[in-house]
């Protein structure tokens, strides 16, 4: 019998993230701890550890692992941070965030996705995540402000009302651009004089839409 075997998919998963430039050890640990195969459709579990986006319910997607890791790394999270995520989807990004900060509020417009994500997160004991069915363009005033905000669907522009929910020195990451086509991942930092914007990399996300979906 051969004495060597192909490395397990999870090992290749981590190696690929490192090769592509992810260096934050806390982010890499979180990516290793959270089982991505639990967030994809049963038919896609054989492909769960590949660096590719996969379809989920309601016409949405679970982002490719590199994009999840890159966006998370760009947030520069600390344990005391409170984070807002717009676009829960499968719940995978929220699960990663849960390992790196104090509290996550994640908002999803599709009830089916919100309910299934909540169940997954509870099963994995991501107890510091709250899943809310709601409109990502209309955050309830009672939700307060946030140290970090991450948007996981494409916005044609970042609403000022959303940027204003950042605490001082807070960071917002969002894909900005046309709904159909390529967007640019934007990093917005709230400073004493306003906001500093930095364009990062080109990405492709499903559109961020206002309101709560009437179906699904």
User: Domains of the chain (ranges plus CATH)?
Assistant: 9-203 (3.40.50.150)
| Beta-carbon-side half-sphere exposure of residue 93 (alpha carbons within 13 Å) | 32
59-86 tens-digit pLDDT: 999 999 999 999 999 999 999 999 999 9
pTM higher than the cut 0.95: no
Give yes or no for residue 194 having a pLDDT over 80.
yes
pLDDT at residue 214, rounded to an integer: 81
Catalytic residue, candidates 4, 23, 52, 63: 63
63 is catalytic: yes
- Segment 93-98 shows an average pLDDT of 98
Residue in the structure block whose two tokens are 């999870």: 10
2-51 tens-digit pLDDT: 444 444 888 899 999 999 999 999 999 999 999 999 999 999 999 999 99
Phi, psi (5° rounding) for residue 32?
-75, -35
pLDDT at residue 3, rounded to an integer: 42
pLDDT at residue 215, rounded to an integer: 67
- Residues of the chain with pLDDT > 70: what percent? 96
Q: Which are the contacts of 188, defined by CB distance < 8 A and separation ≥ 6?
A: 158, 163, 166, 171, 172, 173, 174, 195, 196, 197, 198
127-142 tens-digit pLDDT: 999 999 999 999 999 9
């Amino acid at each position: 019998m051969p004495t060597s075997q192909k490395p397990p998919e999870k090992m290749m998963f981590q190696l690929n993230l490192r090769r592509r430039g992810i260096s934050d050890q806390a982010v890499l640990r979180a990516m290793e701890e959270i089982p991505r195969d639990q967030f994809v459709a049963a038919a896609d579990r054989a492909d769960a550890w590949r660096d590719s986006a996969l379809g989920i319910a309601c016409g949405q997607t679970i982002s490719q692992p590199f994009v999840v890791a890159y966006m998370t790394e760009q947030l520069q999270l600390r344990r005391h941070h409170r984070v807002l995520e717009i676009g829960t989807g499968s719940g995978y990004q929220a699960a990663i965030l849960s390992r790196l900060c104090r509290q996550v509020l994640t908002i999803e417009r599709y009830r089916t996705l919100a309910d299934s994500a909540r169940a997954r997160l509870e099963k994995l004991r991501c107890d510091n995540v709250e899943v809310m069915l709601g409109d990502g363009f209309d955050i309830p005033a009672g939700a307060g402000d946030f140290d970090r905000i991450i948007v996981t669907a494409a916005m044609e522009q970042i609403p000022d009302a959303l940027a204003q929910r950042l605490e001082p020195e807070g960071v917002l990451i969002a894909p900005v651009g046309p709904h159909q086509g390529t967007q640019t991942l934007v990093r917005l930092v709230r400073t004493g004089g306003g906001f500093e914007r930095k364009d990062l990399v080109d990405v492709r996300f499903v559109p961020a839409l206002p309101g709560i979906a009437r179906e699904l």
